[in-house]
């Protein structure tokens, strides 16, 4: 009799815990999906914040150099703005179209490897586990909800406490 009660208790715990887990998963699926997407948005935002901090540091260094050397502005302005240099005694190298194309290709490869700012990036489904994506489909969610409810009912009906029978004399 004792062995039978232990087996009934063990089966009750197994069926009830599986049913409860499936039922809770079906109910909380949207929250899990939202959690993983928020986690990914937070990561993207932190990356873009780091990029902006890096750009600020670069611009601060450039501003310090401009304050220290006022002639620097005259030297970089033609290259930055694309105008012809004003100094007739200085020779400036001319860039060929092939060199510009090679530089564009290298820059394009660098941009593909580095993540863009969070506003321009799309959320990928790679961060969200596949089982949550499958779980969130409405038809599967309803089926899992019903299966969890039936497992809980089965555990109470079949593996609940045994009725005590009066001793026959």
Decide if pLDDT at 158 tops 80: yes
Higher pLDDT, 10 or 92: 10
What confidence score (pLDDT) does residue 120 get?
A: 42
Average pLDDT over residues 83-88: 68
d(CA 128, CA 126): 6
Decide if pLDDT at 148 tops 80: yes
Least Cα distance to 128 among 38, 45, 42, 33 occurs for 33
Average pLDDT over residues 123-133: 74
Q: What is the pLDDT of residues 4-51, one digit of tens each?
A: 888 888 999 999 999 999 999 999 999 999 999 999 999 999 999 999
What are the residue boundaries of the structural domains of the chain, listed by start? 2-85+129-159
Average pLDDT over residues 67-92: 73
User: Two tokens at 98?
Assistant: 């092939």
pTM as predicted: 0.55
d(CA 56, CA 54): 5
């Amino acid at each position: 009799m004792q062995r039978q009660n232990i087996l009934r208790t063990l089966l009750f715990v197994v069926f009830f815990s599986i049913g409860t887990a499936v039922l809770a998963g079906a109910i909380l699926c949207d929250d899990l999906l939202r959690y993983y997407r928020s986690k990914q948005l937070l990561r993207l935002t932190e990356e873009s914040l780091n990029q902006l901090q890096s750009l600020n540091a670069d611009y601060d260094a450039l501003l310090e150099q401009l304050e220290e050397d006022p002639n620097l502005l005259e030297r970089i302005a033609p290259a930055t703005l694309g105008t012809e240099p004003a100094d007739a005694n200085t020779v400036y190298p001319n860039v060929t179209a092939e060199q510009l194309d090679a530089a564009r290709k290298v820059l394009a490869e660098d941009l593909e490897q580095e993540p863009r700012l969070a506003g321009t990036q799309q959320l990928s489904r790679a961060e969200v586990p596949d089982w949550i994506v499958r779980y969130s489909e409405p038809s599967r969610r309803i089926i899992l909800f019903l299966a969890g409810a039936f497992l809980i009912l089965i555990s109470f009906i079949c593996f609940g406490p045994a009725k005590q029978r009066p001793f026959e004399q």
